A and B are shown apart, each in its own frame.
Chain A
């Protein structure tokens, strides 16, 4: 069986960034495996700007961000396979590939999972009604419009105010469609504030918070939908129902890490993130398999994905050098309390380095305190002006603080 030191699964921003860093760190034997015909992943269809301020110190569009990564990867002569799908990974790190050349299995000494995420579909949120054409997930609509140049309809309503939904509201408007409304179940938007400003407010597109779609009507093509306000238990209030005529309905109702291959490899998953459980080397519960980017947990910014992928690459290099599991000096679980919905990493094993604890809250908090405890000892406290579920937060604990973890039973991160 062919053997490779490091196989990176996925040639999007996470996979490319990991490959670049791994090669820069001196790993020679690398292979990037990409399912699509081109590298760059979802960045290719994200033609809007606002990427790269942190990594490249300039404002780029998605394709430009991808281009910079691809050019660097080519400069470093990193081998990649396109139109190649990974069918299976075993816990022994045997990777089964399917391409036009047939099926091949390669054994890796280390693997970085970088498969990204997928969209939650209409079916996942149970909206009743007909099943006519004209209903798309926001990302599919984005591909059809931006990559294939298709007109998807004349009048649209968007369900969900996550960033992709907001971006598509502007995009469809610019393409000549009448976007009648964005409907959001929660009392707040899941998207970035700047996207509400420049995608909705700029074009006078109304955002209906605490609203849902109660009916979808149409025989062949979508004809109309009925929306209603919801009460505090998110149940529709019948007397607020009203009809909106539209031939297109987009769903932007969340993203889920792509975890099928992680599962196949025997990697334990976190029920809250739907991604792998990792330690602070981004190593999963299977030795030598690392995870980063949206397959680990959904990020708001591609820049954060790149930084996380760099970390995974450095860890993979350490692992390959030691030819063993990273020196596990401790095993301290990270638990969440108060308003914190999840935190990554979920375990601390390596106390020789600073820790970037990434977390998300479940609701909006103004003037809240973010606290970190080692058992009962408070080691970090900061007051945040605003915390929203749409924005990932990062708490950095210095190596000096992390060194104190020796006899600690758990780390707790709390928002009050």
Chain B
């Protein structure tokens, strides 16, 4: 059986139109301009993933400040909303640096949630 799927590559701003064709166990990719496109199409067909970004409140210096966060790597697409809920549960206080780990292995994805902007007094 042959399965054919079309994707727009999200690896860089060019946005190549990818065509992935699955025949048996093999996936072939066309339309890519670089090797990242091949990896992206195969991943998108078998295990689609995204980096999740959002911002959270931090109690700091007597009031709340906003801190931006991300998943340090991409997570399964269907885990995005559940992970977002976990991130929103955070009750953060004090100072943070860029890269600080806020949640380890969020929802057993093997991926940490980290700060992308520091919060200082």
Binding site for B on A (CB under 8 A): 44, 47-50, 53, 59-64, 66-67, 145-149, 174-175, 192-194, 196-198, 201-202, 300-301, 391
Chain A residues with Cβ below 8 Å from B70 are: 47, 49, 61
CB contact between B116 and one of A64, A145, A201 (< 8 Å): that residue = A64
**Contact A194 B9, beta carbon cutoff 8 Å:** yes
CB contact between B53 and one of A44, A47, A53, A301 (< 8 Å): that residue = A47
A interface footprint on B4-19 (CB within 8 Å = 1, 0 otherwise): 0001111111110100
**Contact B68 A194, beta carbon cutoff 8 Å:** no
CB contact between B50 and one of A60, A198, A301 (< 8 Å): that residue = A198
Given A47-B116, A192-B15; A146-B68 close (CB under 8 Å): yes
Q: Does chain A have a CB within 8 A of B21?
A: no
Q: Does chain A have a CB within 8 A of B22?
A: no
Binding site for A on B (CB under 8 A): 7-15, 17, 50-55, 57, 64, 66, 68, 70, 77, 80-81, 84, 98, 116-118
Beyond the given pairs A149-B66, A175-B54, A202-B77, 13 more chain A to chain B contacts, judged by CB atoms under 8 angstroms and listed by A's residue number, are A47-B116, A49-B53, A50-B13, A59-B51, A64-B117, A66-B117, A67-B117, A174-B81, A174-B84, A192-B15, A193-B14, A202-B50, A301-B13
How far, in whole Å, are A64 and B10 apart by their CA atoms in the complex?
19
How far, in whole Å, are A42 and B84 apart by their CA atoms in the complex?
24
| Chain B nearest Cβ from A175, distance in angstroms | 8
**Contact A44 B10, beta carbon cutoff 8 Å:** no
Chain B residues with Cβ below 8 Å from A193 are: 8, 14-15, 17
Chain A residues with Cβ below 8 Å from B17 are: 193
**Contact A48 B66, beta carbon cutoff 8 Å:** no
Chain A residues with Cβ below 8 Å from B118 are: 67
CB contact between B64 and one of A59, A66, A149 (< 8 Å): that residue = A149
| Chain A nearest Cβ from B96, distance in angstroms | 12
| Chain A nearest Cβ from B33, distance in angstroms | 9
How far, in whole Å, are A198 and B11 apart by their CA atoms in the complex?
11
How far, in whole Å, are A67 and B119 apart by their CA atoms in the complex?
12
Chain A residues with Cβ below 8 Å from B10 are: 194, 197-198
**Contact A67 B68, beta carbon cutoff 8 Å:** no
Complex: chain A residue closest to B10, CB-CB: A194
Chain A residues with Cβ below 8 Å from B50 are: 198, 202
| Chain B nearest Cβ from A239, distance in angstroms | 33
Chain A residues with Cβ below 8 Å from B14 are: 193
How far, in whole Å, are A51 and B77 apart by their CA atoms in the complex?
20
Chain B residues with Cβ below 8 Å from A50 are: 13
| Chain A nearest Cβ from B91, distance in angstroms | 14
Q: Which 8 A-B pairs have the closest CB atoms?
A: A193-B15, A63-B117, A47-B68, A197-B8, A194-B10, A194-B15, A61-B116, A63-B116
Chain B residues with Cβ below 8 Å from A174 are: 52, 54, 80-81, 84
Given A47-B116, A146-B66; A67-B98 close (CB under 8 Å): yes
How far, in whole Å, are A60 and B52 apart by their CA atoms in the complex?
12
Chain A residues with Cβ below 8 Å from B9 are: 194
**Contact B68 A197, beta carbon cutoff 8 Å:** no
CB contact between A149 and one of B8, B55, B81, B84 (< 8 Å): that residue = B55
How far, in whole Å, are A391 and B14 apart by their CA atoms in the complex?
8
- B9, B50, B54, B84: which has the most chain A beta carbons within 10 Å? B54
Chain A residues with Cβ below 8 Å from B80 are: 174
CB contact between A391 and one of B13, B64, B117 (< 8 Å): that residue = B13
| Chain A nearest Cβ from B63, distance in angstroms | 11
How far, in whole Å, are A182 and B89 apart by their CA atoms in the complex?
30
CB contact between A146 and one of B11, B15, B55, B84 (< 8 Å): that residue = B55
| Chain B nearest Cβ from A13, distance in angstroms | 15
Chain A residues with Cβ below 8 Å from B77 are: 202
Chain A residues with Cβ below 8 Å from B55 are: 47, 145-147, 149
